[in-house]
Amino acid sequence: MKLVIAVFAVVAMVLVQDSYAQFAVITTGCGVLPKCGVNEVAACCEPCYSVYCFYINRNCGKNCVKACYCALGFVQMKPNGPCVPKLMCAKGKK
């Protein structure tokens, strides 16, 4: 019974943390990371461009930027747009 209660407590804690994750300011070894939107993650050092459905990425060398990027499996439909599942890119082609 104690094991069941412990497992339930851990699962509940993870769900609560996950539901508030998009509102949290994360502090890491690279300083404070920005608050990110839905389907985004904050990163210390990523390329200076985002991945878009129908947009050619610019080459910015070896520079990196601390910012929010689309989570794995998501891309931006257009610059400054929301992160959407990659599968939505094919649906948007004409």
- In whole angstroms, what is the distance from residue 42 CA to residue 67 CA? 6
| Residue 85 β-bridge partners | 74
Give the CA distances from residue 84 to residues 9, 45, 75, in Å, rounded to whole numbers and listed in that order.
32, 22, 6
Tokens coding 76 = 């931006």
pLDDT at 87: 87
Q: Where are the domains of the chain?
A: 1-91
> What is d(CA 79, CA 61) in angstroms, rounded to the nearest whole number?
19
Q: What is the pLDDT of residues 41-92, one digit of tens each?
A: 998 887 666 677 876 556 666 677 788 888 988 988 887 888 999 888 876 5
Report yes or no on whether pTM surpasses 0.75. Answer: no
- Residues 23-29: what's their mean pLDDT? 52
Task: Quote the Cα angle for 83-41-79, to 5°.
Answer: 35
